[in-house]
Amino acid sequence: MEEQSKYARLFNEIDSQALITLGVVLVGTIVLIIVSQRGLNWLATRLHGQLRFRVFALVPLTRLLILITALAIIVPIIIEPSLSNMVTLLGRWA
């Protein structure tokens, strides 16, 4: 029973404001990924030589950075960001 109450305090209450914020972040992430992929591909097709390949290599890196940023915004909304909660959560996955 004590373990259930510990996990109950791990997560924040999800209200309508949190759901709206999560939705905006998710939609914004999807839009940013699509725009960056199309924009970098468009730019790379107009370049020549080594620079073209470097711009093509930026596509997955940009997508990864966008996803990490979105995750960094979403996690504090869902989980109460204290040191003990983060250790508990990450310790369960290790």
- Is residue 90 in some structural domain? no
Q: Measure the CA–CA gap between 63 and 88, rounded to whole angstroms.
A: 29
pLDDT band at 94 (very low <50, low <70, confident <90, very high): low
The answer as to whether 7 is a domain residue is no
CA gap 57, 62 in Å, rounded: 9
Task: Determine, yes or no, domain membership for 52.
Answer: yes
Residue 53 domain-assigned (yes or no): yes
Chain centroid to CA 73:
7
| Range of the structural domain that residue 58 is part of | 42-76
pLDDT at 81 over 90: no
Most confidently modeled of 3-12, 16-25, 27-36, 53-62?
27-36
Q: How many domains does the chain have?
A: 1
Residue 2 lies in a domain: no
Rounded to an integer, what is the distance from CA 31 to the centroid of its chain?
A: 13
pTM for the model: 0.74
